[in-house]
Structure 1
Amino acid sequence: MILEILYCIIGTLAFAITMKAPKKSLIFITIGAAISASVERILSGFYGNFISCLLSMVCLSFFCELMARILKVPTTVMLMPSTIPLLPGSSIYYAMFYAIQSDTRQFVIYAKATLFAGLGIALGAVISSTIIKMINYYKIN
C-alpha cells in the first residue's frame, strides 16, 4: 500500500509539472495526492468504491481549499492534479477491453465500478464545495 501511494505521489507531481502548476504549490499538491490516495486505499477495504472515492474527495477538497487560500492560488490549481490518484483508470481500461472482446458480463462489472467511482468523486467535490460556500456565506453575513 505504501508503494502504491508513493507511485501516486510521483505520478501526481509529474502531472502537476506538466500542467505548469506554480512551483510554490507543488509540495502541497503532492501532499493532497498522498491524502486522497491514502484515504481511498484505507476506506476501500471497508466500504465500496463509491463511498471510498466520495469521502476521499471530500477530504481532498477541504485540504485543497485551505491550501489554496494560504498560498493565494486558485483552488483548481491544487485540486485537479491531486485528484489524479482517485481516477478509475484500470476499471475504465478493463471496461473498454471487455467491450471490445464482447464479454458483456465483465464489461458491465467494470463499467459499473468506473461509473460509481466517477460519481463518488463528483459528488464529493459538490458536497465539499457546497459546505465551503455555506461557511463563506455565513461568515460574510
Structure 2
Amino acid sequence: MIKQIVLAFFGSIFPVILFNIDRKKIIWTGFCGAIGWATYLVVYKYTVSPVSSSFAGSFVVGVYSELMARKLRTPAVQFSIPGIFPLVPGITAFNTINYIVEQDYSAAYSKGMQTVAVAGAIAFGIMLSATTFRFVSKLMMSKKLAQ
C-alpha cells in the first residue's frame, strides 16, 4: 500500500513538468496525488467498488486543491489535474479496446461501462468538491459581513 502511494506521488509530479507548472509547487502536487490515491485505497478496501473509490479520491483531490490554491495563491487546477492522474482508469480503457480487438464484445461492454462510470465519478468528485468549497466560502464571507 505504501509503495502504491509513493508511486501515486511520483505519478502526480511528472505531469507538473509536462504542463509547465511552477517548480515551487511540485511537492504539493505530488502530495495531492498521493492523498487522492490513499483515499481511493481506503475506500476500495471497504466498498470494493472502483466507482465509489474514484469518487472519494477525486473529492479529496478537489478539496486539497482548493485549500492549496488559497494557501499558495494559485489556481486550483494546478493541483487537481496532476492530482487525478493516478485515479484515471487507463488500464480499464486499455482492456476495453483489447476486448474489442479480440471480438469479446460482452467483456468490452462491461469494461467500457466501468471506464465511463469511473471517469464520471472522477469528474463529479472534482466538481462537487469545488462547488461545496465555494459555497462554504461564500457562507463564511457573508457571516463575516453580517457581523
The TM-score, its normalising length taken from structure 1, stands at: 0.93
Shift of 1:80: 0.5
Q: Which amino acid aligns with 1:11?
A: G
**Aligned positions, number:** 141
3-state SS, counterpart of residue 83 of structure 1:
helix
Further displaced range: 75-84 or 106-115: 106-115
* Corresponding position: 1:89 with 2:81: no
**CA displacement 1:4-48 (0-9 Å, x = unmatched):** 222222222111112111112111100011001111122112221
Further displaced range: 74-83 or 130-139: 130-139
Further displaced range: 45-54 or 68-77: 45-54
* Ranges of 4+ aligned residues in structure 1 off by more than 6 Å: none
Q: Which amino acid aligns with 2:24?
A: K
* Corresponding position: 1:36 with 2:43: no
Shift of 1:128: 0.9
Residue 124 of structure 1: aligned partner: 125
Q: Which amino acid aligns with 2:28?
A: F
Q: How far apart, CA to CA, are the structure 1 residues paired with 2:35 and 2:8?
A: 10
Shift of 1:118: 0.7
Residue 136 of structure 2: aligned partner: 135
Shift of 1:99: 1.0
Q: How far apart, CA to CA, are the structure 1 residues paired with 2:19 and 2:139?
A: 35
**CA displacement 1:82-133 (0-9 Å, x = unmatched):** 1101100000000011012110121022112211111111111121111112
The TM-score, its normalising length taken from structure 2, stands at: 0.90
Residue 23 of structure 1: aligned partner: 23
Residue 70 of structure 1: aligned partner: 71
> What aligned pairs does 1:37-56 form with structure 2 within 5 A after superposition?
37-47=37-47, 48-56=49-57
Q: Percent identity?
A: 21
Residue 79 of structure 1: aligned partner: 80
